[in-house]
Structure 1
Amino acid sequence: MLKSFDIYNQNNVLKIIVAINLLLVGTGSLLFTNRIINKLEAREEQYMQLYAKALAYAIQTAGTKENINFIIADIIQANQNNAIPAIYVNEHLEPVQSRSLDLPKGLSDTDPRTFLDKDVRVFLLAQRDKMRQNHNPIPVDLKDGNFGLIYYDNSLLLKQLNYFPFALLAILTALGVLAYLSFSSSRRAEQNRVWVGLAKETAHQLGTPLSSLMAWVDYMRTDPDHYEPEVTDEIEKDVNRLETITARFSSIGSVPTLKDENLDEVVTHFTDYLARRISTKVKMTVESNLPATLMVRINRLLFEWVIENICKNAVDAMAGVGELRIRLLPLPHDEVGIDITDTGKGMSKASMTKVFAPGYSTKKRGWGLGLTLAKRIVEDYHNGRLFVKTSEIGKGTTFRIVLHREPGPLPELEEPRRKRPSLLKLRGPKVK
């Protein structure tokens, strides 16, 4: 049964504590701010109720409508209501007076005893309609069937408080993002230290048995009873391969040296080696749409490791039976691509997003670091890109490697070069 695990994505207590604290602070601040806003709204409504009662009383006791505008101004001034925008309208819903309302440039309403001019009236009617959407008007009972209405809006302080929760949310979000990036960076640094230490220790441990294996190869060549040229030569290639792997592990954590290499030759030579060591039921083909002499700056040892990791994952995905196609092709913007396609089980979209994560694996055995290291080698050491180009459940997956090349046009090929790596059969040693 397949399983998925990630040795690094365990619950981080510190992350949870920080997240909970941010959530509590944010929720508490929002609730407290909302409570203050509600209290201020209630207080401002009480002010306007008081103004309406005072206005009704003043008009009734004054007894003349000619003094209404003057009385309105005095009441509002006396109650220090300049912070709350307000418009008083008569029974015909025509504006009579406004306070704490900024008139557009060019309009003036300095004398409350004068009639409003046309432009001011139009402006106040528009403001009245806006205020109606936020608050119900406060009625002013003038007796004998006469009445007025006071329309009002939130004060500047209350408006600013309404925006405060959004500002607070933005600040908390920014703090959460910074905390997440800090934790992620710390985790990546720790992972890098683990990988580097493990790689160098592995290289050190491989040194002694490699020396012993080379001695056994020399011994087999000197013993005519056990000497089989093909077998001995292939064993020597495997020993050399182990030396290459040791060199790869030793280079992890160090800045690799990049050299101009013939990409076509590198891929073809390595697939020849790899084809002899994977299942004979896997048909491997290489197709090149690049000029045979194209040079790309790579570290050959590390780049072959990338090809090996992707190809071995492809073979595992096909359960040792299927077709593995490697295609080299030119790309725009002075880039070249290597597509590695298998006919395996494919991946879901969820798996595609996690396939390069450290420790992620769908196999019963394995550390789940092969593709992670491959991506790191391509992107960190070669300034390229490695990603899943396409994948479909039950049909297969295509990984794409993108590398930079020297700028300039490439010659057109009449037809792509295709080949199938040789599959040399190894024979076992003679038995006495």
Structure 2
Amino acid sequence: MISQTPKQKPRFRLHPAAILNSQRLRRSLMDTYDQKSAYKYLIGIILLLLSISSLFYTNILVEELEQREEREVQLYAEGLRYVVNSPLDENFNVVYQVIQDAVNFYQIPAIYVDENNLTSPDRTMNIDFPVTISAQEKERMIQEKLAVMKLEHPPIPVELGKGRTGYIYYSNSFLLTQLRYYPFLQLSVMLLIGYLAYLAFSSARKAEQNRVWVGLAKETAHQLGTPLSSLMAWVEYFRSDPNIDPSIAEEIEKDVIRLEMITTRFSNIGSIPTLKAEPVAEILNNFVSYLEKRVSSKVKFTVYNQLADEQTALLNKNLFEWVIENICKNAVDAMGGIGEINVTLQAPPNNNEMWIDIADTGKGMTKANMNKIFNPGFSTKKRGWGLGLTLAKRIIENYHSGKLFVKNSEIGKGTTFRIILNASIVE
């Protein structure tokens, strides 16, 4: 005769091969993430090196062109000095015209200021004036450009003889200005390309993850189908045997129904779940009552409900219970089967949201682990696939348009997870 005391709870142990396989899968998932992260860093480093090389090389070209333009202006100043101090002849005028044409070729804006600090439009080069502008406005434009030129380059002196000295002020040519800013434009383009590549990479990664999740889930559901059918037959056999306590069959049937629901969850992954307004507090209370009978009796569950009686949220009940189960079982493991789990439901004022905080009194986690806790394959336990919290986050954020994150965690004191859902009111 089979008997079971009320406080006795069934214990299931994984076969060593199953534990080993789960560890291998977890390492494979983590290796995949590490490799993809390495690729992202590699692409970033390559773009950075290309940008630095471009900036360095362009800066060399800018310096060379700047020196060439300065030499052209110096030649222009030298020619102007000869014009002023030498007898005019046809040959020299030709030479001077060649020098002036060179300055014009490089489109170097220049202004000549005589020994009396005076200038005029006919003493400027490569400065365009509007056709309809007045003489006073031309003078104002010249003075404005002259003020800018004085800040850009030191003037080139022109010795006029008898102690007189004029000056030529100039600015960088349009070509040089373009070349100076070209690396920054190129860097912006590279950053844009890098950002687009990152988006494409992330999109491909998510698509790959979705295929992995869907395939894994559906295969799991398929594998569970056969033993579930056998278990249901055993339940009926236990009921038909008068020597077996009927309560045993009832408890086994509850677990079989639970397994069937889990199988349904897995088989539905990849499909868009149906959401409807559900009383969150009622679902949580019922599920916690079910769960606390199937974990360590040294774990105390407490639900603090601060929601209004009519307050609901758009949920898929089965998937939502799966999220709560994953978080609570992780909490039980973190506490070593001894401690407290407090579930708090609240609705912030003036906000169409619902907050569910699940706090444990476990060992807590470091900030580094907080950043990786939802990564597939990451787990601080020796067994398991490290997929529970990953799936929980995807269920809340992808299917319920909510949020799941670690609200806070302190080493030696425990961890609090927060779920944010979109609240709704039943009319």
For Structure 1 versus Structure 2, the TM-score category normalised by the shorter chain is 0.7 to 0.9
Aligned length: 391
CA change 1:249–1:153 in 2 (3 A) is same
Distance change >3 Å, CA 107–CA 354, structure 1 → 2: farther
Q: CA RMSD of the aligned region, Å?
A: 3.1
Structure 1 pair 106–309 and aligned structure 2 pair: CA distance change class (3 A): farther
Normalising to structure 1: TM-score of the pair?
A: 0.80
Determine whether 1:101 maps to 2:119: no
Cα contact 1:334–1:408 (8 A) shared by 2: no
Partner of residue 235, structure 1: 252
Displacement after TM superposition at 1:269 (Å): 0.7
- The whole-number CA distance in structure 1 between the counterparts of 2:31 and 2:387 is 10
CA contact (8 A) 1:7 1:358 kept: no
CA distance in 2, matches of 1:397, 1:376: 20
Structure 2: distance between partners of 1:77 and 1:354: 68
1:84-163 mapped onto 2 (5 Å cutoff): 84-91=108-115, 93-95=117-119, 97-102=123-128, 108-109=134-135, 124-163=142-181
Structure 2 residue 283 is matched with structure 1 residue 257: no
Residue 157 of structure 2 contacts residue 166 of structure 2 at CA under 8 Å; is this kept in 1? yes
Residue pairs, 1:177-326, within 5 angstroms: 177-225=195-243, 227-326=244-343
Offset of residue 135 of structure 1: 1.7
Which of 51, 60, 64 is the aligned partner of 1:39?
64
SS of equivalent to 1:8 = helix
Report the equivalent of 2:32. 8
Residue number in structure 1 paired with 2:346: 329
Q: Is the CA contact 2:305–2:345 (under 8 Å) kept in the aligned structure 1?
A: yes
In the TM superposition, residue 337 of structure 1 has moved relative to its aligned partner by 1.9
The equivalent of 2:385 in structure 1 is: 367
Aligned partner of 2:104 among 62, 65, 81: 81
Is 1:56–1:142's contact at 8 Å kept on the other side of the alignment? yes
Give the TM-score normalised by the residue count of structure 2. Answer: 0.81
Cα shift at 1:306: 0.6
Q: How does 1:162-181 map to 2 (within 5 A)?
A: 162-181=180-199
Cα 1:374/1:27, change in 2 over 3 Å = same
Deviations 1:334-355 (A, max 9, x none): 2222111122233333333322
Report if aligned partners of 2:311, 2:425 keep a CA contact under 8 Å in 1: no
The one-character-per-residue Cα deviations of 1:161-210 (angstroms, maximum 9, x if unpaired) are 11111110011111111112212211111111111111111111111111
Q: 1:55 to 1:401 in 2, by over 3 A?
A: same
Deviates more, 1:47-56 or 1:210-219: 210-219
The one of 385, 389, 398 equivalent to 2:403 is 385
Shift, 1:304, TM fit: 0.3
Question: Counterpart of 1:286 in structure 2: which amino acid?
Answer: V
Deviation at 1:74? Answer: 7.5
Give the Cα separation in 1 of the matches to 2:409 and 2:151. 54
Q: Does 1:56 align with 2:73?
A: no
Moved more, 136-145 or 155-164: 136-145
Amino acid at match of 1:298: L
CA shift at 1:383, angstroms? 2.0
**Which blocks of at least 5 consecutive residues in structure 2 are unaligned?**
1-22, 89-95
3-state DSSP class of the match of 1:358? coil
Amino acid at match of 1:100: N
Distance 2:150 2:52 in 1: 31
Compared with structure 1, are the counterparts of its residues 57 and 322 closer, same or farther at alpha carbon in structure 2 (3 Å cutoff)? same
Shift of 1:287: 1.0
- Classify the secondary structure of the residue corresponding to 2:301: strand
The 1:327–1:321 alpha-carbon spacing in structure 2 relative to 1, beyond 3 Å, is same
Aligned 8 A contact 1:214 1:239 in 2: yes
Report the Cα distance in structure 1 between the residues aligned to 2:365 and 2:124, rounded to whole angstroms. Answer: 68
**Is the Cα contact below 8 Å between 1:284 and 1:324 reproduced in 2?**
yes
1:270-301 per-position Cα deviation (integer Å, ceiling 9, x unaligned): 00011112222222100111233433331111
Aligned match for 2:413, one of 383, 395, 400: 395
**Which residue identity lines up with residue 81 of structure 1 in the other structure?**
N
Percentage identity across paired residues of the two chains: 53
SS at match of 2:337: coil
Q: CA deviation at 1:147?
A: 1.2
